[in-house]
Amino acid sequence: MNACELTASITALANVIASHYDDDTLGILALILTQLGDTLATIAAQRAICCPPESK
């Protein structure tokens, strides 16, 4: 999947989710998913810096 297909898929998913929830619920979902993404990025960065893969 290339970058354009990925972003189009994410947009389609957002539209499907938005069609099932009210604005208050969407706001909470957005906050939860933002925190999830930020936490995953933090974990990935910490692993890359502190625990690099061993050279073979």
> DSSP H helical segments within 1-56, as ranges?
3-18, 23-50
pLDDT of residue 55: 60
Please give the model's pTM, rounded to 2 decimal places.
0.75
The alpha carbons of the chain give a radius of gyration, in whole angstroms, of 16
**Could you give the angle at which helices 3-18 and 23-50 cross, rounded to 10 degrees?**
140
53 φ/ψ angles, rounded to the nearest 5 degrees:
-60, 145
Q: What is the pLDDT of residue 6?
A: 97
Model pLDDT for residues 1-56, shown as the tens digit of each residue: 899 999 999 999 999 999 999 999 999 999 999 999 999 999 999 999 998 777 65
